[in-house]
């Protein structure tokens, strides 16, 4: 099998081995043969926890969940770049499933990085087997971009900490068996720490939020009401919680960008197909220059976004700090997908807004992603700060 090479002037060289190409082919076969028929028959309905768990277990055969972990942690040791390419294939078919499975993969990674050996012993294998599903709860009803304002509190009590507060917009909240909760442990703005909350031991309530898209998966409010977690479940001290979250963001931002690349690719595929069969003014609309140019622009922007996310993931793989590159890739890819899906609707004409054509769903899904993992504005400010050394927040 031949090799695919992406080159970047700063040295990004993504050469895929025949094994890696085979992994991508395998996930493509799964997506077309199994995932696509499932999502088509399931429609826009909520995928219940037990069904989602089965999907995660199946996806872990293709590099999800334990894929990007090293062998000592029970992983396959695939690179984040490689994981990004696999994720794109899934998101091209279902951004809902891709997003949910990405969260579980990130939670496994966060657990490996943060948990004590005792917690690892008790939980890691069950997390890798997707018998335990996780979420991360940072945002609150009044706290989004500025996490320094988090109100959820953890107070020391006999044998542990009592957590109280509401969290909002938590991906996989309803699916979760455990939650990484960021809570205030002191009065000064950045005294925020991370707690591992096992829902079976320390129950919390969850309520799904109905959104403009991605309703197949859970985005939820999570309520902690004097939720007592054992002492050993405190994962950070002295306000190190947000530092750990920012380390996670360096990886999760480009991977969120990948979701947008997958959505945009699905929209481009649909637009290409439609432009070849729809005829107006005596020929296929693909033969009209403005339609052809729009397709050319869409494909170019998708490639540009893919290269940005791969560059950031490559830096993460090499252990190079890449806050600015991660921020660039995320905002660019998510805004790109809004534009590309909108153009795909335009190419479909009136049919583009009919629910029987998938581009209207893709547009609604794409519109969601300029918000999580740092809004477009916040990510641009991160890039600006890296350029000037001056914070404009």
Region of 166-174, 225-233, 246-254, 341-349 interacting with ligand FAD (CB under 6 A)? 166-174
Please identify which residue in 148, 371, 383, 386 interacts with ligand FAD, judged by CB under 6 A: 371
Contact status: 255 vs ligand FAD (CB under 6 A) = no
Contact status: 144 vs ligand FAD (CB under 6 A) = yes
Please identify which residue in 90, 136, 337, 359 interacts with ligand FAD, judged by CB under 6 A: 136
Please identify which residue in 165, 254, 352, 372 interacts with ligand FAD, judged by CB under 6 A: 372
Contact status: 393 vs ligand FAD (CB under 6 A) = yes
Q: What is the separation, in whole angstroms, between the first and last Cα of the chain?
A: 49
Size of the site for ligand FAD (CB under 6 A): 18
What distance in Å separates the CA atoms of residue 201 and residue 124, rounded to the nearest whole number? 16
Region of 42-50, 136-144, 191-199, 258-266 interacting with ligand FAD (CB under 6 A)? 136-144
Contact status: 230 vs ligand FAD (CB under 6 A) = no
Contact status: 213 vs ligand FAD (CB under 6 A) = no
Please identify which residue in 138, 163, 285, 286 interacts with ligand FAD, judged by CB under 6 A: 138
Q: 123: closest CA among 55, 69, 197, 58? A: 197
Q: Measured from the CB of residue 372, what is the shortest distance to ligand FAD in angstroms?
A: 4
From residue 143, alpha-carbon distances to 26, 146, 172, 174 in Å are: 41, 6, 19, 20
Q: Measured from the CB of residue 244, what is the shortest distance to ligand FAD in angstroms?
A: 13
Closest residue by beta carbon to ligand FAD: 144
Contact status: 207 vs ligand FAD (CB under 6 A) = no
What distance in Å separates the CA atoms of residue 250 and residue 245, rounded to the nearest whole number? 9
On whether the CB atoms of residues 380 and 331 are closer than 8 A, the answer is: yes
Region of 26-34, 129-137, 189-197, 282-290 interacting with ligand FAD (CB under 6 A)? 129-137
Dihedral sign from CA coordinates of 113, 50, 131, 183? positive
What distance in Å separates the CA atoms of residue 250 and residue 355, rounded to the nearest whole number? 36
Region of 49-57, 131-139, 275-283, 309-317 interacting with ligand FAD (CB under 6 A)? 131-139
Contact status: 227 vs ligand FAD (CB under 6 A) = no
Count CB-CB contacts under 10 A for residue 17.
12
Contact status: 268 vs ligand FAD (CB under 6 A) = no
Angle subtended by helix axes 80-93 and 289-317, to nearest 10: 140
Q: 67: closest CA among 325, 277, 255? A: 255
Q: Measured from the CB of residue 214, what is the shortest distance to ligand FAD in angstroms?
A: 6
The tokens for 329 are: 């890739």
Q: Measured from the CB of residue 265, what is the shortest distance to ligand FAD in angstroms?
A: 20
What distance in Å separates the CA atoms of residue 271 and residue 276, rounded to the nearest whole number? 9
Q: 80: closest CA among 69, 95, 91? A: 69
Per CB under 6 A, residues contacting ligand FAD are 135-139, 144-145, 169-171, 219, 368, 371-372, 375, 377-378, 393
């Amino acid at each position: 099998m031949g090799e695919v090479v992406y080159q970047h002037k700063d040295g990004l060289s993504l050469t895929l081995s025949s094994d890696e190409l085979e992994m991508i082919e395998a996930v493509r076969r799964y997506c077309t043969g199994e995932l696509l028929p499932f999502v088509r028959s399931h429609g826009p309905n909520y995928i219940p926890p037990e069904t989602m768990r089965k999907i995660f277990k199946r996806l872990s055969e293709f590099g999800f969940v334990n894929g990007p972990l090293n062998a000592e942690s029970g992983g396959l040791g695939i690179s984040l770049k490689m994981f990004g390419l696999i994720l794109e294939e899934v998101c091209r078919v279902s951004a809902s499933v891709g997003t949910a499975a990405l969260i579980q993969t990130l939670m496994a990674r966060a657990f490996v990085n943060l948990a004590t050996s005792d917690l690892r012993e008790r939980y890691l294998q069950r997390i890798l087997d997707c018998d335990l599903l996780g979420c991360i709860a940072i945002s609150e009803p009044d706290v989004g971009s500025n996490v320094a304002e988090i109100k959820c509190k953890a107070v020391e009590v006999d044998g542990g900490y009592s957590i109280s507060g509401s969290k909002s917009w938590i991906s996989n909240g309803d699916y979760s068996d455990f939650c990484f909760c960021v809570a205030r442990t002191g009065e000064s703005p950045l005294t925020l720490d991370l707690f591992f909350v096992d829902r079976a031991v320390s129950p919390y309530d969850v309520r799904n939020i109905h959104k403009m898209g991605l309703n197949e998966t859970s985005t939820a409010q999570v309520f902690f009401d004097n939720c007592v977690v054992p002492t050993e479940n405190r994962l950070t001290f002295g306000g190190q919680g947000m530092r750990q979250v920012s380390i996670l963001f360096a990886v999760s931002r480009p991977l969120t960008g990948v979701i947008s690349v997958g959505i945009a690719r699905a929209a481009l595929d649909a637009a290409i197909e439609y432009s070849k069969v729809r005829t107006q003014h005596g020929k296929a609309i693909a033969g009209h220059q403005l339609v052809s140019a729009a397709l050319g622009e869409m494909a170019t922007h998708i490639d540009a976004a893919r290269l940005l996310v791969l560059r950031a993931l490559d830096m993460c793989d090499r252990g190079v700090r890449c806050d600015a590159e991660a921020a660039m890739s995320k905002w660019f890819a998510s805004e790109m997908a809004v534009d590309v899906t909108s153009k795909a609707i335009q190419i479909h004409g009136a049919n583009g807004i009919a629910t029987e054509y998938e581009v209207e769903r893709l547009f609604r899904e794409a519109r969601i992603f300029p918000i999580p993992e740092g809004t477009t504005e916040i990510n641009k400010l991160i890039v600006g700060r890296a350029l000037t050394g001056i914070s404009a927040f």
